[in-house]
Each structure stands twice: as C-alpha cells, then as structure tokens.
Amino acid sequence: MSETLNTTVYDPALWAEAVAWQQECGVFDLLSDQPVDAFAARELEKASAPAAIRTDAAPRPAAAPARPAAPARAKPAAARPPTNQHARRGLEAVADIAEAEKRAAACSSIEELVAAVEDFDGCLLKDTASNTVFGDGPTDSDIMIIGEAPGADEDRQGRPFVGRSGQMLDEMLSYIGLKREEDFRITNIVFWRPPGNRKPNAGEVALCWPFSKRHIELVQPKVILAVGGLSAQTLLDPNLRITRERGKWRSLDVRGSAVPVLPTLHPAYLLRQPVNKREAWTDLLTLKQFLNNPEG
C-alpha cells in the first residue's frame, strides 16, 4: 500500500474551508512569496548566539587554555528567512504615507477618492484582502459614522458594516430614526480587512489616514460618530480609552472647522458584552439630541 497521503479523499470544499479557517486564525504568512522554515531559522539563531547569553553553556574549567576566538560565522544565504513583506523598512513606509497624502489631496470628489484608494498599493493589507471597503451611504450627509476595519463579510461584499456588527449598528441607529441609505455616510479607519480580524497596526492606520481625512473633508459632516476605540483614538487622541471616554463630546479640526465627534462602543464589543448596550444606547440618545438641536 502506498505510504503517500491520498489527497483525493479531500474534496475542494473541505480544502477551501481549511484555508479559510487558517486565514481566520491569522495565518496570513502562508501568502508570503517564499516558504519560511522557522525551525531552521531558530536553530541557526541558537548556534550563532554569543556564549555570554547562552544559559545552557557549561562553565569552563579554570585552567582551560586560551583559544583564539572563532571567526564570526556568516549566515548561509539559503537558511536566512526570506524578508517578510510586513517587515518593510520604515523609510519605505514614510514614502508610502507621503504618496498617500499626495494622492488624497489631489482628489476633489468622492468618486476620485474611491479610485485613488483602490489604486493605492502602499498598504499591505490590500494584498490579503478580497476587496477594498471604502464607504457607503450618501456622500453629502451631515452625519459620518467611522468604524475600525472591515471584517470577513465586509471584505467579501466590499461594503462597510454589513456583517453581524453592522446589522446591529444599523438596527440601533434605526431606533433614533437614522437609515444608512438616506441619513449617514459610513466608513472605516482602514479600507482592507486585516488578516484574522486582528487590530490594524499603527503603520496601516497611518497609510490609510490621508484618505480618511480627505473623505471627511469632502463629505463635510456636521457631526461624526466614532465607533470603537481605534476610530476614536485615530480621530481624537491615541491615548483615549473608549470605555471611559465614550459618550463625551470632543472635536476634530477639519480644515479649520471644529467638527463635533462622539466616541461610542463598537457593536462587535456589544455583541460580546451585551450588558454594555445600555451605554451605547445612551450615546445614541446624545447623538439624537445633538441632531435635534445642533446649536445646543
């Protein structure tokens, strides 16, 4: 009998499911250009570690004859792990941010901005995403809702907040009389799904920010609802703690005008911690009050 694995017993749907599961778990390095032999890299690292920091090194006998120091061993090129795309040098990232700023500033309509974002390859999240998820809802709305990052459903459909969190958000907003198709523009801080739904890192946020900023400038909202910690931190203050600061009005400078921003809890958090829906509901009532009387 053959010792080799009989792959015909697996049907393609099961393989697809297995790959999707790995992606859900954040195993996105499978998508690197070359395979990484992490065991070989670790062995090599151990072998080339200086003796002083090796805790397993036996003490030398006092009378051991002095030996000339071994020449430093260069790592054989083949055993070196290939450069990970996600570990690009900082200078390249700075150049990409400058490029994002240039492209965003050149856009004078939402349509141009969508095209610019879709054409921008500087953010590596794009490599593992199926779609760019930019925005939804009227482009001249007085209300802008800004979330964090697309999830799996958003990535599949190319629209923000269409999965479970989004459905819950839409439902909650409907209680204060707001409908996505008519009443608000909705978007995210980053436009591509981070693999495994991990939190976007600071570099990814910085690369998307010039486009988000231009998005806000073009929509010219009268009020922004910042949904979730990452959104509030990006718009307002990197040290903001959403559970403490939610429901308190802050403001964002948009071309010299102070736009009121209300931070609130993320619906994904509410799905995990339904007991906090009461706070989110209070925040929506605060928003409703503002909308009824913007002059205050």
- Point out which residues bind ligand URA (CB under 6 A): 147-151, 154, 160-161, 163, 165-166, 188, 228, 268
Shortest reach from residue 268's CB to ligand URA, in Å: 6
> What is the rounded CA–CA span in Å between residue 240 and residue 218?
26
Identity (one letter) of the amino acid at 191? Answer: F
Shortest reach from residue 198's CB to ligand URA, in Å: 13
> What is the rounded CA–CA span in Å between residue 242 and residue 73?
50
Query: Is residue 226 within 8 Å of residue 146, measured between CB atoms?
Result: yes
> Phi and psi (nearest 5°) for 35?
-70, 150
Smallest Cα–Cα separation from 164: which of 177, 151, 147? 151
Query: Judged by CB, which is closer to ligand URA: 147, or 203?
Result: 147
Query: Judged by CB, which is closer to ligand URA: 41, or 206?
Result: 206
Query: Judged by CB, which is closer to ligand URA: 122, or 163?
Result: 163
Query: Judged by CB, which is closer to ligand URA: 147, or 247?
Result: 147
Nearest residue to ligand URA by CB is 147
Burial, 60: exposed, middle or buried (Cβ in 10 Å; 0-12, 13-18, 19+)? exposed
Query: Judged by CB, which is closer to ligand URA: 165, or 264?
Result: 165
Integer-rounded Cα radius of gyration of the chain: 25
Query: Judged by CB, which is closer to ligand URA: 250, or 266?
Result: 266
Shortest reach from residue 151's CB to ligand URA, in Å: 4
In sign, the C-alpha dihedral spanning 235, 238, 242, 246 is negative
> Phi and psi (nearest 5°) for 57?
-75, 130
Q: Which own/partner contact pairs does 101-107 have at CB distance under 8 Å and 24+ positions apart?
A: 101/210, 103/210, 103/211, 104/210, 104/211, 104/213, 104/214, 105/210, 105/214, 107/214, 107/218
Shortest reach from residue 178's CB to ligand URA, in Å: 17
Query: Judged by CB, which is closer to ligand URA: 85, or 139?
Result: 139
Shortest reach from residue 45's CB to ligand URA, in Å: 38
Query: Is residue 269 within 8 Å of residue 275, measured between CB atoms?
Result: no
CA distances from 77 to 34, 36, 44, 74, 80 (A): 14, 13, 12, 9, 5
Shortest reach from residue 146's CB to ligand URA, in Å: 9
